[in-house]
Amino acid sequence: MVALNEDMKAIFGKTKIFAVATASKDGVPNVVPMAWVRLADDETVWIMDNFMVKSLANLKENPRIAMYFWDQDTKRCFQIKGSAEIQTSGEAFETFRSQVKAKSEAYPAKSLVVMKITDVFECTPGKEAGRKVL
């Protein structure tokens, strides 16, 4: 696993909607906008499954996941890739589920996708775009 640095964490914290990408075992891609995303620690991202259908099916077949986060003001952007585990019980699931439910009971908070970060890439426009940074 790799750990995000302070600059990356600050940009992550400014992001409101995350583009989360998965693929089936046959490589059919799917990307969705996700709002319930939290940095659990420097190496781990939590994503709450409220309405996932294709993404959840993909992760059950293929645990690879990617997303990007960016700062609209500075245009700084990073893409992270990793492996995902789906949890429907346990301390992490209950902790994040209670945060989601506190916001609104309308959110089903069905499962928690725990992403362990394995790679970080620069995606800020310019000559460094696409470069692996961690």
Determine, yes or no, domain membership for 133.
Answer: no
Quick check: 120 and 77 in contact, CB under 8 A? no
pLDDT per residue as tens digits for the range 63-93: 999 999 999 999 999 999 999 999 999 999 9
Could you tell me the residue range of the domain that residue 118 belongs to? 6-122
Instruction: Output the pTM of the full model.
Output: 0.95
Determine, yes or no, domain membership for 132.
Answer: no
Determine, yes or no, domain membership for 90.
Answer: yes
Closest C-alpha among 92, 129, 128, 99 to residue 113 = 92
Mean pLDDT of the chain: 97
Report the number of distinct structural domains present in the chain.
Answer: 1
Determine, yes or no, domain membership for 130.
Answer: no
Question: Which CATH number does the domain housing residue 70 bear?
Answer: 2.30.110.10
pLDDT, residue 76, reads 95
